[in-house]
Structure 1
Amino acid sequence: MLAPCLVLGSSYFKPFNSDKSLCKVGVSSEGQLLEMLRRKRLQQRPLQAQRHAIAQALDQMIDEGWVLDAARRYRPGAQ
């Protein structure tokens, strides 16, 4: 599972801030986050071998409307 990174003490948007199903990684500043990205210190998993299967699964999720439905939770005013 990939974890979204965020700056500690920052407020993003209501559904993201309160979403307990996400395993978020906090850093002290935007600069630290950018430096971690530059140095490739964020956890990455090699998925090259599964790339085709992942692309097919994502295409199916998009076609079936799952991605749009999931994104709606993060829109302003969503319940």
Structure 2
Amino acid sequence: MGGLRVGQVLGSAYFEPYDSDRNLHQSAVNNEAQLLGMLARGRLGAVIGTDCQVDYELRQPRWAARIAKAAYHPPVRTELYIGLSRRRPLPDEHRLLSQALGQLQAEGWIARAAQRYQLQTP
């Protein structure tokens, strides 16, 4: 992959040895939509991104027929979080969000959604 120009989101950390590989030609942009646009126009040879964000973008009709996702799962798992501001406490919203997420988990919705992502990987 040394000669391949790889696109990534600015300021993101992905996995080792990718993050520290100085032989790769890495190009950073602001978001996944920009990456996919550059890939579709041939300005990049490949892109790297987080499954949930890239999968979301790839569901858009403009990318679905033009870009294929490679099956690669690094051995390190990336945890995703929902953050709420400490500067503007919103106790009611925090409670509602926690309840909704708990209900989705209890109903098995989160597990089914995760399984759909795993099944989409070729």
TM-score by length of 1: 0.47
TM-score by length of 2: 0.32
Structure having the higher helix fraction is 1
Does 1 or 2 have the higher relative contact order (CA < 8 Å, sep 6+)?
A: 1
Larger Rg: 2
